């Protein structure tokens, strides 16, 4: 009998502890997303050359709640990403392919709005996100290749740009969420020799974990 009571007390204690752990989540989270879209390349040879772009980004975020009951809160986000740009060129001498690969360090400020005001609302776990920020962009590979030869730029400077985001985030549990949205990055059109500027619109999908 004592063993049975001891087991019951132990089970209740573990259950209570687990529930407490579920309620206590950090304001820090990590995210990973993948994007696909179109990009316009500007350099000394091309003006608004359209191509496809594939992106990957990892980020560390902090959520600032001024009031736990408010429908809106703020998210500060620091990330590390990579992108690959591809474009096909057609001329009198044939077809060539232009490929650029870059690293990107974005810093972004987001406003996060919870669509449902209370737990009974069907949209209580759905959030709308609008963000703005800037990024550091470094192109580490640039090739313009055709059937006969491949040419590369010798020196490509690191450059800066602006970033805008609109998206939705859906909580699937207390710690996990999935997200989708649109990223728009702007680097401009005017540039000096051996500079590459990408103006990109990409749809992304990803996941976030809050510990």
Q: Measured between alpha carbons, how far is 75 from 112 in angstroms, rounded to an integer?
A: 7
Please write the tens of the pLDDT for every residue from 8-58.
Answer: 444 444 444 444 444 567 899 999 999 999 999 988 778 889 999 999 999
Give the residue with greater pLDDT, 111 vs 98: 111
Q: Measured between alpha carbons, how far is 44 from 144 in angstroms, rounded to an integer?
A: 13
pLDDT at 182 over 80: yes
Q: Which of 164, 162, 157 is nearest to 142 (CA)?
A: 157
* Antiparallel, parallel or unpaired: β 49-64 and 72-91: antiparallel
Would you state the pLDDT for residue 8?
Answer: 42
User: In terms of residues, how long is the chain?
Assistant: 211
Q: How far is CA 30 from CA 61, 75, 171, in A?
A: 6, 12, 14
Token pair in block for residue 156: 């490509």
CA geometry: angle at 167 spanning 163 and 172, to 5°?
135
Residue 8 DSSP SS3? helix
Domains of the chain, with CATH numbers?
Answer: 29-210 (2.40.160.20)
């Amino acid at each position: 009998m004592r063993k049975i009571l001891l087991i019951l007390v132990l089970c209740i204690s573990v259950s209570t502890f687990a529930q407490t752990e579920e309620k206590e989540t950090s304001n820090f989270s990590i995210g990973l997303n993948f994007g696909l879209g179109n990009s316009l390349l500007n350099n000394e040879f091309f003006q608004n050359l359209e191509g496809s772009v594939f992106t990957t980004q990892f980020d560390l975020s902090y959520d600032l709640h001024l009031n736990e009951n408010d429908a809106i809160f703020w998210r500060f986000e620091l990330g590390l990403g990579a992108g690959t740009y591809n474009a096909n060129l057609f001329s009198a001498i044939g077809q060539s392919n232009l490929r650029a690969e870059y690293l990107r360090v974005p810093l972004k400020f987001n406003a996060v709005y919870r669509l449902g005001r209370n737990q009974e609302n069907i949209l209580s776990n759905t959030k709308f996100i609008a963000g703005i920020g800037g990024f550091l962009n470094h192109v580490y590979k640039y090739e313009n290749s055709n059937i006969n030869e491949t040419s590369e730029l010798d020196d490509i400077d690191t450059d800066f740009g602006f970033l805008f985001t609109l998206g939705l985030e859906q909580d699937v549990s207390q710690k996990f969420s999935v997200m989708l949205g649109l990223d728009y990055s702007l680097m401009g059109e005017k540039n000096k020799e051996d500079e590459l500027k990408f103006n990109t619109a990409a749809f992304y999908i990803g996941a976030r974990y809050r510990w």
